[in-house]
Structure 1
Amino acid sequence: MGMNLDGAVQAFADLLGQPVVVFDSDLGVAAYSVHEGRIDRARRDLILSHRASTRATEMIRDHRVDRAAGAVLLPVSANMPSRVVAALRYRDRLTGYVSYVPGDDDDPEVRDAPDITLARQELGALLAAREAERRDGADHMQQLLTQLLDGPHEQRENAATELVREGLISSAARYSAMVFRVAGDADHATAGARLLIDRGFREIGRISSLKAAGTVLGSEGVLIIPREINPARLRALVSDPLHGHARGGGGAARERLADVRESRREARIAARATLRDPDRYGVSAVWSELGLDRLLLQLPLERLTTEDLPESVTALITATAGPDLAETLEAYLDSGADAQQTAQNLHIHRSTLYYRLDRIRAIVDADLGDGQVRRELHTSLRIAALAGLR
């Protein structure tokens, strides 16, 4: 194996006289040869998406290419041209696939000629080597990031130095942490977090020459970037339908990489905000957006009950029509006790608002003009909402 994967793919394409695409065993694009002239649509889509299409995946599965001893000709389907696809193996283990459009002189016997078979074996071995290298690299990255984020002071300092020295993350003036969480069982959550980190690497590489570092710790994805977080880009990253029920959080930037664990702590709290109040935050949030929720989200919300709330708030949220009254009071307090603005925000007549406020005053048995009363009610209503008590 004296050649790297890209070189072997190009040599295989030259041998065939056709452009080729090599996939890993999960049908992600691993490499492709250079092409001359106009590129066909299917090949262009593969290169842009980095994955085989759903239809191509189904055809490879239906034709049992993974079990075939040699190359398999897939017929024309929808907008896809006919393709020759062959499984790549290393020591009888599937490592990927190679695909190309057959030429006009395509001969079934030539597809598995000795020189072509030998070239496919080399591709299979190179894919296996790349997989092992990535696995070793990923393990090393995970070890360093674990030390950086969870280790004692000396470990954090050493890990920060190693990450920069080894070129695993760029040297920069600021570092920020993102965290990703994907709903589902442990395997699904872990796989989803890895996909989000991979997409994050690609997006950062597309807009900047700076290098980020990321890994999955438990089932949580962690991405450390050498810059401040752009909330819009974080939201776009986790809003991709491909990643299903994903949530993201971003922490504030730190000047030293060794201190970025505090940014990760903030990112976790921001991600918690999206789970506790998706109506307000959507699929992602950053620390700077949280306001008072920075503190409230650090409470043991899962253990709180209505008995932990002030009696006035408990009476309000458990009263008949309680949710409407709680929403009305919160909107009223949000607007700074501006009745006109509250009525507009709730899309109700002002007389309706005054009626509700009279009911609220009677239930809470307090003066809504008292600043201390307002603070207690406002904060308690927010805690009740985050704790899922209203």
Structure 2
Amino acid sequence: MKRWIQRARPAGEALQSLVDGLAEDLGRSVVLDDPLVRMICTSRHFGDEDPVRVRTLLQGVADDEAIRYVLSQGVAGWTRPGHLDGRDDLGLRPRYCVPIRERGHVLGILMVVAKPGDLTSADTAAIDRTARAVAVEMYAERLASDVAEEHTRTLVNRLVGPDSTERCEARRLLLDDGLLPAGPHVVVTGVAVSGLRGPSGQVEVALRGALEPFRRTRTARGLSAVDQDRAVLVQVFEREPTEEDLEVQSRAVVRSLETFLDRQAAVAVGVGGRRADLVDAWISHDQARVAVRAARRLPRLGGIGDWDRLGEHAVLLQLPDAALNDSLVPKPLRRLLDGGSHARLEETLRCFLENAGSVPRTAEVLEVHRTSLYYRLRQIQEITGLDLDDGGHRLVLHMGLRLWDLLRVPAEHPV
């Protein structure tokens, strides 16, 4: 599968100068990372480089396992400097880490390659002075970035929102500002994260980081809007993306979020239908919301739903959560499903219906003799009281099974 690499973002000259100056004073390698442990700027080597540092410089981003390890130690949440233990299996030497904070915001992590006892009090004092100067520079950048981010978030939310007047105005502003082209291939992707207990804002930062690579790719331009534990990505492609293109992209988003967040986090990605112009982005967005619900309720999707692949689930999942409950499952089918004592018959019924009621094909797939299959089908008819030769009865059973699948996973809030 193609790996999407997030290159280091350009650093301001002031930050680079501070990092280089500290490294020269200490005679040690220094790196400044963002809160997701992605490199912002780094010093030259001093003979203390390790495999992780070398690969980071070559790739522009640390290995997923290295990032996952650092974040699992809670470094981004530290309130004071401390040492990060090395990991020989990852090729990571110990580091002295200083969280960069300003007015409640976690801005980054300053790291010096050093093990406990290597640094003198003069060294740590120099690191502390540099960290405070870095915090001032990064906070100024954060303020400017927040203004632009809020403007973008507002436009995206209005573009996919319910008000047609606001949608048209948002489209006009996006085009006038050159933020997005009008078309020809518009796709909206929704992302939602649940099941995570962690520092406030952690998910929001992770979502921004996971979607950032897709704001500009070789074939598309995009904008994202992040709101706590959910996000929307609007993209305009030069050529129509294939289902495989969008699946690769979605899996890259899932992989990034699984790297940036605790493994307990449940990630759901939903891809909306393809539209021809930004004016219809709201339709793709509504479809993406349905696809997110599918990703959450259907484990076989692996956390990724695509509207164009949902089939009949696209209709069923437009029912509100309050209506999507056990009462929708037909009583005849419940007699077969309740208690789980008829698992073999349920499998037989599913196969029979999926194969359009073809006995030869069903027997082949199940690898049973037709006599055995006819016996099972008679049992199903006796238990349900429905006639499998009747198209309407088969439809009731088929839709009932689809609903049953959706009800196995509890509902979550939508994107």
TM-score, normalising length: structure 1: 0.78
| TM-aligned CA distance change 1:179 to 1:310, over 3 Å | same
- Paired with 1:285 and 1:8, the residues of 2 have a C-alpha distance of 44
Determine if the alignment matches structure 1 residue 222 to structure 2 residue 222: no
Residue 67 of structure 1 is matched in structure 2 by 80
Match of 1:138, SS?
helix
Match of 1:252, SS?
coil
The one-letter amino acid of 1:299's match is L
Pick from 265, 269, 277: which aligns with 2:290? 269
Mapping 1:222-241, distance limit 5 Å:
222-227=232-237, 228=241, 230-239=246-255, 241=258
Residue 98 of structure 1 is matched in structure 2 by 110
Quick check: 2:84–2:97 contact (8 Å CA) kept in 1?
yes
Quick check: 2:29–2:44 contact (8 Å CA) kept in 1?
yes
- Paired with 1:262 and 1:218, the residues of 2 have a C-alpha distance of 23
The one-letter amino acid of 2:176's match is R
- Paired with 1:269 and 1:75, the residues of 2 have a C-alpha distance of 44
Measured after TM superposition, the shift of residue 235 of structure 1 is 3.1
- Paired with 1:185 and 1:159, the residues of 2 have a C-alpha distance of 33
Residue 246 of structure 1 is matched in structure 2 by 267
Quick check: 1:190–1:216 contact (8 Å CA) kept in 2?
no
Measured after TM superposition, the shift of residue 151 of structure 1 is 4.4
| TM-aligned CA distance change 1:309 to 1:209, over 3 Å | closer
Residue 5 of structure 2 is matched in structure 1 by none
The one-letter amino acid of 1:33's match is T
| TM-aligned CA distance change 1:184 to 1:66, over 3 Å | closer
* Structure 1 gap ranges (5+): none
Residue 161 of structure 1 is matched in structure 2 by 172
Quick check: 1:29–1:50 contact (8 Å CA) kept in 2?
no
**CA displacement 1:324-358 (0-9 Å, x = unmatched):** 43332221011122223223433444333221101
Measured after TM superposition, the shift of residue 57 of structure 1 is 6.4
Determine if the alignment matches structure 1 residue 260 to structure 2 residue 276: no
Residue 8 of structure 1 is matched in structure 2 by 14
* Structure 2 gap ranges (5+): 1-9, 410-415
The one-letter amino acid of 2:167's match is R
Quick check: 2:328–2:403 contact (8 Å CA) kept in 1?
no
The number of residues matched between the two structures is 374
Measured after TM superposition, the shift of residue 93 of structure 1 is 8.1
- Paired with 1:388 and 1:145, the residues of 2 have a C-alpha distance of 33
Residue 358 of structure 1 is matched in structure 2 by 378
- Percent identity between matched residues is 24
Match of 2:12, SS?
helix
Quick check: 1:27–1:97 contact (8 Å CA) kept in 2?
no
Match of 2:192, SS?
strand
Residue 222 of structure 2 is matched in structure 1 by 212
- Paired with 2:165 and 2:255, the residues of 1 have a C-alpha distance of 37
Determine if the alignment matches structure 1 residue 130 to structure 2 residue 141: yes
- Paired with 2:293 and 2:15, the residues of 1 have a C-alpha distance of 45
Pick from 49, 53, 64: which aligns with 2:62? 49
Determine if the alignment matches structure 1 residue 195 to structure 2 residue 206: yes
The one-letter amino acid of 1:332's match is F
Pick from 138, 157, 176: which aligns with 2:187? 176
| TM-aligned CA distance change 1:77 to 1:305, over 3 Å | closer
Determine if the alignment matches structure 1 residue 380 to structure 2 residue 380: no
- Paired with 1:159 and 1:198, the residues of 2 have a C-alpha distance of 24
Quick check: 1:183–1:189 contact (8 Å CA) kept in 2?
no
| TM-aligned CA distance change 1:346 to 1:130, over 3 Å | farther
Measured after TM superposition, the shift of residue 308 of structure 1 is 4.2
- Paired with 1:162 and 1:117, the residues of 2 have a C-alpha distance of 44
The one-letter amino acid of 2:166's match is Q
Farther-moved stretch of structure 1 (215-224 vs 306-315): 306-315
- Paired with 1:310 and 1:77, the residues of 2 have a C-alpha distance of 56
- Paired with 2:197 and 2:94, the residues of 1 have a C-alpha distance of 39
Match of 2:275, SS?
coil
Farther-moved stretch of structure 1 (281-290 vs 130-139): 130-139
**CA displacement 1:152-193 (0-9 Å, x = unmatched):** 112111112223433444554221111112222687897446
Q: Which has the larger radius of gyration?
A: 1
Structure with bigger RCO (C-alpha 8 Å, 6+ apart): 2
- Paired with 2:74 and 2:30, the residues of 1 have a C-alpha distance of 16
Q: Once superposed, what is the RMSD of the aligned Cα atoms?
A: 4.0
The one-letter amino acid of 1:32's match is C
Residue 329 of structure 1 is matched in structure 2 by 349
Farther-moved stretch of structure 1 (31-40 vs 323-332): 31-40
| TM-aligned CA distance change 1:198 to 1:347, over 3 Å | farther
The one-letter amino acid of 1:355's match is Y
Measured after TM superposition, the shift of residue 265 of structure 1 is 0.8
Measured after TM superposition, the shift of residue 132 of structure 1 is 2.1
- Paired with 1:41 and 1:377, the residues of 2 have a C-alpha distance of 58
TM-score, normalising length: structure 2: 0.74
- Paired with 1:315 and 1:59, the residues of 2 have a C-alpha distance of 51
Measured after TM superposition, the shift of residue 44 of structure 1 is 3.3
- Paired with 1:74 and 1:273, the residues of 2 have a C-alpha distance of 40
